Chains A and B, each alone.
Chain A
Amino acid sequence: MAEQNVLRVENLKLYFKASKGIVQAVDGVDLTLTTNEAVVIIGESGCGKSSMAKALLRLLPRNVETYSGRVYLNDMELMGMDDEQYRKEIRWVRMSMVPQAAMNSLNPVLKVGEQVAEPMVVHHGVSKEAALDQARTMFSRVGVPVDFINRYAFELSGGMRQRVAIAMALVTMPDLVILDEPTSALDVLTQANIMNLLKRIKKEISTSFILITHDIATSSELADRVAVMYAGQIVEVSDSFRFFSAPLHPYSAKLMASVPKLRTKVEPDYIIGQPPSLINPPTGCRFAARCPKRFEKCSEEPPTVNKDGRLVKCWLYT
């Protein structure tokens, strides 16, 4: 089956200006995503995961130094678009986002129903009533009682607010939804509920998902493929089945070993040292300083190798 690429990212770079120098938050990321696929991006905090989401949605702060590369959404090039066209045609129309701590990102003075309906009014020009109808459909789809439409955010529990944020991202039926840490602030049972919801939605509609998280255990609930990010670069992309059983990159292996597991008695390990500063990242492999398998070659920039359909940026596999 020839799967269609929903998203193709080539050499995406996002650098910020800071007082101490240039922060290379996203440094040459390549990624593809097919229809109805969920890719999980995992990595430690500060590795550039959220910056990458912002770069894709073009939600950029003022201190951007470099913003370059190519992003194709359904074969349409996005980087060449001007901001106004991007706002009208792409953001929240074809691509939307559930931001980090989404439950606290709702507007406290608007009813949640209005917030969910708003993208329909703004982007599709439908009447407010029709948009509210659509919001009701979305509410029942994400498991929020429909009469909650007239409530305010503070009247809902954390899990319900998270569902509203998901409804808001889905209301325009985008091709791609980016979920930035959708469950990190939630309780265990609520977290399981939200993951169930995302799985169900993924089965029901053909939207693709990018899930950004540092919670590897939970990420396995949704992932078709896994991309591991370290210091602004993607170091491994693999299908989830092979990734969770045997990751290739030494960093992925270390990261997997650091996850406390409930059902096995393996002692978790931790990674010695800290990720490098993104202001002057080391030349060569950025993980070399913490890597147990380091050898001479690691002082040179490693190539990205295709190993049986899995991509890994490491000299060990050349």
Chain B
Amino acid sequence: MIEDPKVMTQPQSSTGEVLLSVEDLHVWFELRRFGFGRAGFVRAVDGVTFELRQGEAVAVVGESGCGKSSLMKTILAINTPTKGDIVYKGEKMSEYSRSELRAYRSQVGYVQQDPYGALPPFMNIQTILEEPLIINGVKSKAERLERIHKVLEEVKMTPVDEFLPKFPHMISGGQQQRIVIARAMINNPKLLVADEPVSMLDASVRVEILKLLRGLQETHELAVIYITHDLSTVRYFSEYIFVMYAGEIVEKARMDDLLAHPRHPYTLALLAATSDPDPKNVNEFQEVPPGEPPSLVKPPPGCRFHPRCPHMIEGLCNVDRPPEFEVLKDHKVSCWLFKDEQINA
């Protein structure tokens, strides 16, 4: 049911209770070779640990192929973890029964990347939004309609009655994304997973959609996982940033801290490659580390970024995998360069 509005507008604090914790999560996909059985594994997610508190937004930043979508799909209970677990409200997901899993899924909203691809073209908006309610056992038609109206008003698709009979192709890209967000919100989830929600949209509507998501997050005290490759949008969205590279989280920090004082060489490279509109750019070449991200079937030993890293320490970075060093409160970085900068070693 819809919560009491007074509860919704509580000031947010990072000391809220832990909603979701990901513990040493590994998601490996088996590679099969014709006739020979197993040919190895794609280590899409390889030892990821983090906690997400109620009312908190984290951005997972990384390039394609770094495992951020596999991580997301595991949190959505689409993939099963190879090792490690996801703990939701203190209960391990691996121990869920079928009905518990179903209940969990109804508490997690999913905002897809491509709104047009995510909306069934043969359903009108009312049907699209009604379906999750039917599946989750809202029997009364009147209640379903009431909730559809409420959620469409929240995503600012007004007048609601005008949009209900429309099909996805009849509305603009920004409006389609609003419908996707409405569908994710209709079961009053506790957690929202947004996979590049604005990358397919025009610059002029991107900010509008991000502000809408931020507004929903604040009014409903949602925990949000915002997956993106675009560092310039995270400033307006999240409390924390996790930088992912080749299946691992290499740096975790508060948003402003990470943008002001990035530590990991990969984070530095990502930030340097993100342009701001500036006429001076024409005369300068951007600094880009050489090479490409490694294969996740046979990732390099030691630090996975070492073949591209300008600060590589021979005999250390290419041998031992760096643990997480806490260089500041809430700022952890997996890089040997910061071995001596730990605050509580």
B278 touches A270 (CB 8 A): no
A1 contacts the other chain (Cβ, under 8 Å)?
Answer: no
| Complex Cα–Cα for A191 and B205 (A) | 22
B95 contacts the other chain (Cβ, under 8 Å)?
Answer: no
Q: Which of A2-10, A259-267, A298-306 contacts B (4 or more CB under 8 A)?
A: A259-267
A44 touches B286 (CB 8 A): no
| Complex Cα–Cα for A188 and B281 (A) | 16
B207 touches A220 (CB 8 A): no
Mask of B190-216 contacts with A, CB within 8 angstroms, 1/0: 000000000000111111101100000
B270 touches A259 (CB 8 A): no
Residue of A nearest to B66 (CB): A187
- Given A45-B202, A270-B207, A217 and B233 contact (CB-CB distance below 8 Å): no
B205 touches A256 (CB 8 A): no
A116 contacts the other chain (Cβ, under 8 Å)?
Answer: no
Mask of B165-192 contacts with A, CB within 8 angstroms, 1/0: 0000000111000000000000000000
| Complex Cα–Cα for A262 and B231 (A) | 7
Mask of B262-305 contacts with A, CB within 8 angstroms, 1/0: 00000001111111111101100110110010000000000000
Distance to closest chain A CB from B250 (angstroms)? 14
Q: Which of A99-107, A147-155, A171-179, A192-200 contacts B (4 or more CB under 8 A)?
A: A192-200
A44 touches B202 (CB 8 A): yes
| Complex Cα–Cα for A244 and B278 (A) | 6
B202 touches A223 (CB 8 A): no
Distance to closest chain A CB from B268 (angstroms)? 12
A260 touches B63 (CB 8 A): no
B288 touches A262 (CB 8 A): no
Contacting B at CB under 8 A, from A181-213, are 187-193, 195-196, 199-200
| Complex Cα–Cα for A258 and B174 (A) | 14
Contact partners of B233 in chain A: CB under 8 A: 260
B89 contacts the other chain (Cβ, under 8 Å)?
Answer: no
A140 contacts the other chain (Cβ, under 8 Å)?
Answer: no
B236 touches A222 (CB 8 A): no
Contact partners of B207 in chain A: CB under 8 A: 258, 260, 268-270
Contact partners of A45 in chain B: CB under 8 A: 173, 202
B286 touches A196 (CB 8 A): yes
| Complex Cα–Cα for A216 and B274 (A) | 12
B231 touches A217 (CB 8 A): no
Contact partners of B327 in chain A: CB under 8 A: none
Return the contact of A218 from the options B172, B275, B279 (Cβ within 8 A).
B275
Contact partners of A267 in chain B: CB under 8 A: 236
B64 contacts the other chain (Cβ, under 8 Å)?
Answer: yes
Further 7 A-B residue pairs, CB within 8 A, beyond A216-B277, A274-B172: A221-B275, A221-B286, A261-B276, A261-B277, A262-B271, A270-B207, A274-B174
Interface residues of A (CB under 8 A from B): 44-45, 157-159, 187-193, 195-196, 199-200, 214-224, 240-245, 254-256, 258-265, 267-271, 274
